[in-house]
Chain A
Amino acid sequence: EAQVTQNPRYLITVTGKKLTVTCSQNMNHEYMSWYRQDPGLGLRQIYYSMNVEVTDKGDVPEGYKVSRKEKRNFPLILESPSPNQTSLYFCASSPPGGRFAYEQYFGPGTRLTVT
């Protein structure tokens, strides 16, 4: 089944404790992105990647890091989480062209709480 998976689905942590949220897709998509969803703000892009070893900042990159060492994986790293990073996070992937060009396929989300 074609899908984007994220782990963990739920995470409660404390300020300053480094964490990683994993994202993996099995559709061989070149493009991958991370978004955060906050009430009243919709989804905002954190980082995106156009291919292996190619990443760039989105609209709200402060406090986050990413890496793309393999095509299928795109982990999100919070090196020193703070309470304002409490949010619902989504990973997404998309093909660069063809019939499904520009369509983003979303993971199920990771709800992060930082206390």
Chain B
Amino acid sequence: AQSVTQLGSHVSVSEGALVLLRCNYSSSVPPYLFWYVQYPNQGLQLLLKYTTGATLVKGINGFEAEFKKSETSFHLTKPSAHMSDAAEYFCAVTFTGTASKLTFGTGTRLQVTL
């Protein structure tokens, strides 16, 4: 069965510092991987996705993630945090032929301090 693990339920960074949110997946077949962001009192918005091709994926708001098959990881990064990045971030996985079945991690709440 597919699963996703997000290390760290809360991450705090200073404004301007590197953001690193960790995601590891478990799968016996090639995965499709996603990062979603949830701002307070809002629904989820897609940040970026990996399906096939280039393993370094760029998303919105300056975020990017790299698919590393050998490490079964899909960590989310941003070179310089902004106050507006404070939100909850979810990693999710699905597979070919199961587009309706998305398995989410438990989420990481990002706090950005001055």
Contact = CB atoms under 8 A, between A and B. Distances in A.
Interface of A: 4, 31-33, 35, 40-45, 48-50, 58, 90, 92, 94-97, 101-109
A41 B99 contact: no
Contact of B100 (A49, A97, A109): A49
Contact of B102 (A101, A104, A108, A109): A104
A42 B9 CA distance: 10
Interface string B35-51: 01000001111100101
A103 B9 CA distance: 24
Given A41-B106, A43-B90, A104-B102, 17 more contacts: A33-B100, A42-B90, A42-B106, A43-B44, A43-B104, A48-B100, A48-B101, A49-B100, A50-B100, A92-B44, A94-B100, A101-B99, A102-B94, A102-B99, A103-B46, A104-B44, A108-B43
Contact of A42 (B46, B99, B105): B105
A40 B106 contact: yes
Contacts of B32: 102
5 contacts: A43-B104, A106-B36, A106-B44, A109-B42, A109-B43
